[in-house]
Structure 1
């Protein structure tokens, strides 16, 4: 494009609903446009901005900022801005008021710049599919590369429906807190309710989160650290690096160590803050850690907040209270009040459990209910009215306890977990003293803190574990085996040993491989003829699940039980279809032998999910390390026996505390199966529907992209020739895609195409922004009444702050109108599907030589269709208002009712809901009609 200058008027080709905007700033190859009608600002790369200059022509009516109007007679360009002249005087482009750009589709038609009927049909279908996509109740839920796990979808749905949600996600390990958070983010981002997100995680989890959000949800978060910020400072010394990107991921430690970066992050205006491992933020009434202080400041500045944390029972009440006060410092300001309230919740939880089981209530419990509900409601329970009983349970769940801000699911309440079957494999070898010494060196290197800088020495070609492993792999062939060990160096040494001792197909997976390489290696591992064993390092396997495999070999054992649980969690996830076999080979008398005994006898960690691993680590790791570093000392075995007993006693008490501390009221509120079942039904219907597949095949064909069959509903996309223009989200070398969820879960190197995927949204944007089919001409032969027919597609668009999510009630709505040359509506006589099949391309030039046709008949046809469309748009606006009021009035009434009994309903949440209702009323009432596409048909 040409140069941009302040106050020039433009429209967005990709987002015409934004209205007419003007240039507010230009710098460093970027141009900023403000669109006043929609109160939206966009920043574009100047060279490739999808913008069209708005230039009014003679006979157009315009007005200035003061409302003075004129009819344009002629215009002049001076100092890069137009000045419009008319009988009433002149108006500079800089002084134009809120104007509407006259769409150019009719101009294109009159000038003979027409496309084929097929292009028009593609545009019409694009508008219709975009309408359905925007209105879909599962928009944002279909696109995740995830199993459809009911409790995860329930939580994501419940939270993403709220206004500026602030919640704590505390499901047990293995139930998918990260997936829940990503689902919430994905839906809110796609709906436009949020746009700026900051994710804070421990340093060790930064890469895991990056992979998770990208591979599963196609969300690209920019990783920020001091090096990245310093580079941005060099480019813009006066700027704020946290304003450079919308989606940012960084470590909590990074911000806690820099007051400057913390201040910059605070000034960056976040819609949502996500904090993982929030239980590691240390807080007490006497002392606050730097990490907690940073998160507290950011949580006050951000509108929404998602805290991912360990279970409340693990945290202890004081630590749990510290998390809740981040969510709502006014509500949770006094620790003693919190303790008293927690006691009251237990009474209500007991009543809910009895109602759920159909048991009778005693006199005290009935009085408690009568203090909450009218007598007629509680009496209905005595009449064995199941409906009334269930409604009472729902209201109790809504109105009591912290269920509004806290979600907590347990394995005990879930189904679908496999059994863990441990196999401890003691090994013997010749030269036992030599090998014991070698195993001690390996263990010392593995547990060195910081990691030893000397190159570890391995003897894997003769290692007894390798000898056992080769034999084991032969016995279970072709079953797949995932092997996890401490480091990348160990993985590479193991691979070298395998290559010299066998012909097995072995895959690698470590942190120095690129994401693409890891995807390819993981894909090779999934293939029936691919790798039988995948060698993973501790860090390299983070964020990856290999649920198709059922054998896990722990080549070494980590000192921290949390890391052991993470390793097993690569296979032991909800949705795993088979039991998991956990193999632990070790040399008798070695440090690994002692570690295996401690995990097996002290914690039963191989057979059962382990909670409180960090507590165990803090309490026992020093003793364990000391014993393992001297396994040959005289008292090593007796010291280990004592440690195992102490650990087992601690673990028994911990499990007892967890069981007694279970908040069943909270668990019931964290998962309502009927809601989840309905969501899954809708998502599965989308998965099985081939509409997207058929639609994209037309778009790819139109833009000269090949779609080669690979297998069922799986394709390889690539440009048909060197001259084919680039297609967004598809690299020049091509991309494998699938429309099958299960295929996408197995093959992470294949993109999962849904209506939520960037390729799908980019495809629609390309059709609409390129002008494809906006003005077309066709010939319809064999009709009874020769003449002219015109098909017009009007678009009813809302303009306003995107975070209001008006799409729920009135998305961009295509209105199809067909008129004949007399201006009479004949839409029903020309169904779109039948018309598209019969139309042929033709030459329009001869028709345009008829002055009467161009100057009178065609404009009259357009005017007649516009009047009809305006009548239809009024009805659509009324429908949209009814949808909005039905939804929001119900939600506001519910919040008002809940607020009377549940202190967790924040006043600002209710205020936001009321304000949003008023804003949406204005937005929907002011929806504007725009002619988007026109097809002239000569009937012969």
Structure 2
């Protein structure tokens, strides 16, 4: 262990822009440092902290806290702290400037310590690449081992750009909500908008989430296990996953989470947050404390519309302040969507006059009048209207009808005969009827008939895999036991009594080509699990909930499914269950396709369905009822599609914007990642060889730097690919992209060293004499969460001057630059006169550029924030956001950013002295 002392000054090698920090505390595991300039606190693992002690020696120039420079004449150490004796002042360690002053390139050049031109050239190339990466909209989108699907990119982009996103991702089952949320997390982390995240998932999905984040996104989340939990657990890492049950039932865990500061909360299958007091209270507290929240649920109304409203209230308590108002807004969807469609057809010049004549205007006069006055364009008016009149501000929902690539579903209703006298009541328990005669003997006889059918189906072709879902653990166990009495079959189970590890093992066994032919699952298998390697689903029974049926089918009908999905529904002929199956199929058509608004539609028809189905209607009567219901379903569904779906989908997907991001991603690849990797890795003695098509293997035998980031690689054999398709097929491979930490950390390893930062070359510039090229970095010590790079279009300033102090603008790639012995630097006159003057002139030119960059940056801040402030002032006047709260916050944030921009400094990164001789060849 180092000799740590509280009050020592330390800096981060990974984040030099944080400046110089104070050591606040340390123990056997962690070290805590506060960086005043960046107003940031960092806690590091003591074994691998990327930090170094800031120390100066005799002759070094140091700056005090007021920015005044001093030259060190001696250094005294006492109790682990340093005191610097300077010619005119004694400066304690605590009085040092919070900014790192780097004059090493100049010092090295003056001493004649020069590198090769090739090293300088690579350094400048790395600076340009880092500048491009930091400013790219593709940052965080290219590193995942996934297909880049338009709607997923759009949602992740929109959510990650929101200042304080609090959203519900509600795409239909199988459209990739997990991918959207993980892509958002990945981008927020890589762009430094968040550093700590907590994900809450159903118990059965925790390992699936962990593996998906690790394999596809290179994110190493930590599973919170109460058995190994201490009060230090949350301090040692930044990213955590926990199950609903552990969050609810473990007091020490809850207390620690409540006392921790998380930047982001993600909740999968969020419809499980119901009005049950303990669970709801936990999430109510977390939502009041955590700024960014992402709820995921394909079926948010599964447990009722009021529970859906209460979850939205957690996201935005002002927007969703009243349940009756919420209901009215839902009813108003169709009128709103028709109004928006009409406005879209109007002329941008005359739309305001026409809006006043619209049928939608009289009932909404006050708000529309205000919007017409404040909106700067028709497009702006439409966006504000959608935001204010609909419930969709926090909801993203995409549906299959707008997304290509889904295979069709084949529905196979299998009527079976049963000799039991009570066969007709099969399914009655769904309606709470006749439970006193629904006895085990009857259930077993019905089950026997279905098992006989199932055994014959499995025997037809043992290579075909089947997923079977039923409504309970007991039934799943009984099916598995009975099935084995009929045939010799490879089967496996998925239910509540199995440990999480065993469920994962069973799922893996089912996915294995030579593994189980059938996986028999209770209802918990309906959520979150991906079984798209199979394409045959058996609905052994049916729930009285169409959204739950959609969840079941969604295990197979997902993005990436390559085959037609076969849905088998064994049912006892002429029973209640049989009639329910026919009604679902012929009235709602929910087995063949997802039905818009299925929950609301079903609720409107449920009482009539129950009355008719329990009255044991004749086939003719029931077919008539089915036809009547189908008409209603079609009409209601059309209203939902034209109303709610139109409004929500407009907020959820824009193909043009998604394509823009894709073009940005392609733009990054103008620099070939493979060739670049070869060049930068080679410098550190690292090479790679091709194993097979698009798959490579690292070779570290000649590694010359122990700090090279081998630890960022996940594959134990160091196998990797540059190809997205190969990576998505082989998730165990590392996928090397501009987002991969090995690229970022290798760039940092080079740039944080002195490699190539001081060189002396010769060429013919068309005159006799000297020139100087200096590369400065435009830097800020602002907190990374402020993301100043949004307002600065570059951070690399390169200036050139000649010995007459004239500014040059030469493309040095057109010249034959050759390394030269720096003997001229032995001349004190040259160092103190010509070189010093050129350096000072380069600093002056860089300073002029710095001021321009700050001025332009402030203009961009004004433009972006003024628009947002005006919008929120408008919303405050209407009453849909807290009066004054957000606009004041935005103004304060704007002032803070401008202040940090004004304090941005330039740091000399590298310097090249050029001797120009007309005798040299060009």
Give the TM-score normalised by the residue count of structure 2.
Answer: 0.78
Name which of 557, 562, 566 aligns with 1:572.
Answer: 557
> Does 2:255 correspond to 1:263?
yes
Distance 1:424 1:695, change over 3 A: farther
Asked if 1:903 is matched to 2:884, the reply is no
RMSD: 5.2
Which residue does the alignment assign to 2:196?
196
Partner of 1:706: 687
Contact 1:314 1:658 survives alignment (8 Å): no
Deviation at 1:340, TM superposition (A): 4.3
3-state secondary structure, aligned to 1:180: helix
- Matching residue of 1:828: 810
SS in 2 for 1:195: coil
Contact 1:788/1:937 (8 A) holds in 2: yes
Compared CA separation, residues 720 and 427, structure 1 to 2 (3 A): farther
Write the mapping of 1:868-907 to structure 2, written as runs, cut at 5 A.
Answer: 868-901=845-878, 903-904=880-881, 907=884
- Matched with 2:398 is 409
Match of 2:697 in 1: 716
Residue 352 of structure 1 aligns to a residue whose secondary structure is: helix
Describe the shift of the 1:588–1:366 C-alpha distance in structure 2 as closer, same or farther (beyond 3 A). closer
Per the alignment, do residues 421 and 532 of structure 1 end up closer, same or farther by CA in structure 2, a change over 3 Å counting?
farther
Alpha-carbon shift at residue 702 of structure 1 (Å): 1.8
Shift, 1:728, TM fit: 4.0
For 1:183, the equivalent position in structure 2 comes to 183
Separation in 2, partners of 1:316, 1:657: 18
Matched, 1:924 2:897: no
Deviation at 1:40, TM superposition (A): 1.9
Aligned to 1:301: 289
Deviations 1:123-165 (A, max 9, x none): 2111111111111123233333334433333333333222222
The question of 1:329 aligning with 2:311 is answered no
Match of 1:276 in 2: 268
In the superposition, relative to structure 1, how do residues 822 and 176 fare at CA in structure 2: closer, same or farther (>3 Å)? same
Corresponding residue for 2:720? 737
CA shift for structure 1 position 600: 6.7
SS at match of 1:708: strand
Check whether the contact 1:168–1:308 (CA below 8 A) recurs between aligned residues.
yes
What's 2:757 paired with? 774
1:608-644: CA deviations, max 9, x gaps? 33789999999xxxxxxxxxxxxxxxxxxx99999x9
Q: Which runs of 5+ in 1 are unaligned?
A: 381-386, 434-447, 449-458, 474-480, 503-509, 526-530, 619-637
Out of 578, 594, 598, the residue aligned to residue 609 of structure 1 is 594
Distance 1:615 1:82, change over 3 A: same
Deviation at 1:813, TM superposition (A): 0.8
* Aligned-partner SS, 1:349: helix
Q: Could you say what secondary structure the match of 2:712 adopts?
A: coil
Superposed displacement of residue 90, structure 1 = 1.6
1:796 to 763, 769, 778: 778
- Counterpart-to-counterpart distance in 2, 1:218 and 1:49: 20
For the structure 1 residues 736 and 173, does the alpha-carbon distance in structure 2 shift closer, same or farther, using more than 3 Å as the test? same
2:332 corresponds to 1:349: no
* Alpha-carbon shift at residue 393 of structure 1 (Å): 3.4
Q: Report the CA distance between 1:228 and its aligned residue.
A: 3.1
| Contact 2:694-2:726 at 8 Å conserved across structures | no
Task: Tell whether the 8 Å contact from 2:101 to 2:907 is kept in structure 1 after alignment.
Answer: no
Q: Distance in 1 between matches of 2:311 and 2:141?
A: 27
TM-aligned CA distance change 1:354 to 1:866, over 3 Å:
closer
Asked whether the equivalents of residues 75 and 84 of structure 1 are also in contact (C-alpha less than 8 Å), the reply is yes
Q: 1:582 aligns with which of 545, 552, 566?
A: 566
Q: How many Å separate the matches in 1 of 2:537 and 2:908?
A: 65
Note the C-alpha offset of 1:868: 1.8
2-structure distance, mates of 1:316, 1:252: 20
Tell whether 2:760 aligns with 1:765. no
Shift of 1:215: 3.0
Unaligned runs of 5+ in 2: 348-353, 421-439, 441-450, 491-498, 604-615
Shift of 1:12: 2.5
Matches of 1:256 and 1:646 in 2, distance apart? 49
Q: Which position in structure 2 is the counterpart of 1:251?
A: 243
Q: Is the 8 A contact 1:780 1:839 kept in 2?
A: yes
Partners of 1:796 and 1:56 lie apart in 2 by 24
Aligned pairs, number: 851
Question: Contact conserved, 2:469 with 2:526, CA < 8 A, in 1?
Answer: no
Deviation at 1:74, TM superposition (A): 2.8
Matches of 2:506 and 2:824 in 1, distance apart?
59
Separation in 2, partners of 1:113, 1:311: 66
Shift of 1:889: 1.9
- Tell whether the 8 Å contact from 1:403 to 1:669 is kept in structure 2 after alignment: no
C-alpha separation between the residues in 1 aligned to 2:765 and 2:793?
A: 36
1:865 aligns with 2:850: no
Query: What is the Cα deviation at residue 806 of structure 1?
Result: 1.1
**Residue 675 (structure 2) aligns with:** 694
Please give the per-residue CA displacement for 1:340-362, whole angstroms capped at 9, x wherever unaligned. Answer: 45455553333224445789997
Q: Write the mapping of 1:204-243 to structure 2, written as runs, cut at 5 A.
A: 204-229=204-229, 232-233=230-231, 236=232, 241-243=233-235
The 8 Å contact of residues 140 and 186 in structure 1, kept in 2 or not, is answered as yes
Deviates most, 742-751 or 898-907: 898-907
Separation in 2 of the partners of 1:101 and 1:798? 13
Cα distance in 2 for partners of 1:156, 1:729 equals: 24
Q: Aligned residue for 2:21?
A: 21
Match of 2:732 in 1: 749
Tell me which residue corresponds to 2:360. Answer: 365
Q: Give secondary structure in 2 for the equivalent of 1:717.
A: strand
1:396 aligns with 2:381: no
**649-658 or 553-562: bigger deviation:** 649-658
Structure 1 Cα separation of the partners of residues 509 and 721 of structure 2: 16
**C-alpha separation between the residues in 1 aligned to 2:740 and 2:645?**
38
- Counterparts of 1:66 and 1:302 in 2: how far apart (Å)? 37
**Does the aligned pair in 1 maintain the 2:509–2:516 contact within 8 Å?**
no
Residues in 1 aligned to 2:602 and 2:226: alpha-carbon distance in whole angstroms: 31
C-alpha distance in 1 between matches for 2:70 and 2:820: 40
Q: Give the secondary-structure state (helix, strand or coil) at the position aligned to 1:663.
A: helix
Helix, strand or coil at the partner of 1:178: helix
